[in-house]
Amino acid sequence: MGRIAMRDLVELVRMPAALSVPGDVVAGAAAAGVLGRRTAGLACASVCLYWAGMAANDWADRHVDAVERPGRAIPSGRVSPGAALAVAAGLTAGGVSAAALAAGPRAGALAAALAGAVWTYDLAAKDTPAGPAVMALCRVLDVLLGAAPGGRAGGAFSAAMPAALVVGAHTYLLTLLSRREVSGSGPHLPAGTLAATLALASAVGRRRGWTQNALAAWYAARFGLAQARAAADPSAPNIRAAVGSGITTLPALQGALTAHAGAEGAGLAVAAAAPLAGILATKVSPT
């Protein structure tokens, strides 16, 4: 299988893009009222599963990437297909185990369901009409993972579901855009996702609390501007830039949801990942 250089591993799993992941778990935990020490362990599990999905994605796409993105780690020969598959499998096992250790069997079962959705997307659903919905399901399950310590008592999962659906809706829009990041699109696609993004931000930020309103506005402004540029010129680079912006600004949306649940300090901490993710995205592509 051979060793993988750290730089190539970072690229394979889109390591900096994982900054968009812990906020899912934090938002779910805050909504369910179970934000605490177990949340950190669940966030680590979530990151492992995200990285696993990125490696599995590149393994599944290796033949397409050889034509469309020959510079990626696998088609360039810097990482072998077998090594990429081993990384994906190892991170999957690690993520499920970490969830179970952090919050018990229920969390482990939910992490296993999330892993199943991730692999289903990468291996079967990605290029089908169901692809965006399956990807959205991955993020919904990720948010619900944060509520796992609450179990069924007090309706923890029900309490976290609105936040999960918001993150899932964002992911659905982002996945629609990502399908055109190589070929470009007509103006209607980014214009439509822009309208939906503004509606989503408005729904999140319309309640009381300056923190959630400010974070929702920040999310709408940054992601919205990138989509507006793509609507004006729907070339592949602009679509790709909009997708990257959607990934790196997600912590602002997660932070708004966390603040809405009453955890304003945690919401600001989550949102702080957004500018860092934007900086790192100039070094390692998040898409």
Instruction: List the domain boundaries for the chain.
Output: 6-281
| Strand stretches in 149-230, DSSP E | none
Please report the pLDDT score of residue 162 as a whole number: 95
Contacts of 31 (CB under 8 A, 6+ apart): 143, 146, 147, 159, 160, 162, 163, 257, 260, 261
Rounded to whole angstroms, the Cα distance separating 255 from 148 reads 19
pLDDT digit string, tens, across residues 114-163? 999 999 999 999 999 999 999 999 999 999 999 998 766 558 999 999 99
Please report the pLDDT score of residue 112 as a whole number: 98
Longest Cα–Cα distance of the chain, Å, equals: 55
Mean pLDDT of the chain: 93
Selection from 129, 57, 135, 48 nearest residue 95 by Cα? 48
Please report the pLDDT score of residue 207 as a whole number: 64
Instruction: Report CA 101 to chain centroid distance, whole Å.
Output: 23
Global confidence as pTM: 0.94
Question: Which residue do the tokens 């702080």 mark?
Answer: 272
Please report the pLDDT score of residue 68 as a whole number: 87
Buried-exposed string 31-49: b where 16+ CB fall within 10 A, e elsewhere: bbbbbeebbebbbbbbbbb
pLDDT band of 284, cuts 50, 70, 90: confident
Per the CB < 8 A criterion, the answer to whether 153 and 203 are in contact is no
- 3 state SS of 228: helix
Rounded to whole angstroms, the Cα distance separating 76 from 69 reads 9
